[in-house]
A = this chain, B = another copy of it.
Amino acid sequence: MSEIEELTKMLVAFRNERDWEQFHNPKDLAIALNIEAGELLEVFLWKNSDEASREKVKEELADIFAYGLLLSHHYGFDLTEIIKEKIATNAEKYPVDKSKGSAKKYNEL
């Protein structure tokens, strides 16, 4: 079993022990992920990157990944696969010669 499968299995077991599957529809999982993303953002509020607490980033990132993995599990995605696909898509949207050193969005390149 891969790492991602193992983590997903642990998260699903944790959830099912608590009978929380009834709440975990994809819409609410997406909401939950957004809430955690907002908490991650709070770690950086009024600060430079290097003033932010590494420990807090760690906490919030773990929460984001947990909801992301549950959402991915719901749809039966192979996470490794979908990230590789995305990298391939982005390689076309952002060819090296056009995008090198530029922060522009692909539709402005």
Query: By DSSP majority rule, is chain A's interface helix, strand, loop, or mixed?
Result: helix
Smallest distance from the beta carbon of A1 to chain B beta carbons, Å?
11
Known: A58-B77, A68-B64, A71-B61. A87 touches B14 (CB 8 A): yes
Q: How many residues of A contact B (CB 8 A)?
A: 71
Number of this chain's copies in the complex: 4
Pick from B7, B42, B58: contact of A35, CB below 8 A: B42
Q: Are A35 and B27 in contact (CB under 8 A)?
A: no
Q: Residue on B with the closest CB to A5?
A: B3
Q: Are B61 and A68 in contact (CB under 8 A)?
A: yes
Q: Are B87 and A19 in contact (CB under 8 A)?
A: no
Pick from B3, B45, B57: contact of A2, CB below 8 A: B3
Q: Are A18 and B96 in contact (CB under 8 A)?
A: yes
Q: Are A47 and B103 in contact (CB under 8 A)?
A: yes
Q: Are A103 and B26 in contact (CB under 8 A)?
A: no
| Residue numbers in B under 8 Å from A49 (CB-CB) | 25-28
Q: Are A86 and B59 in contact (CB under 8 A)?
A: yes
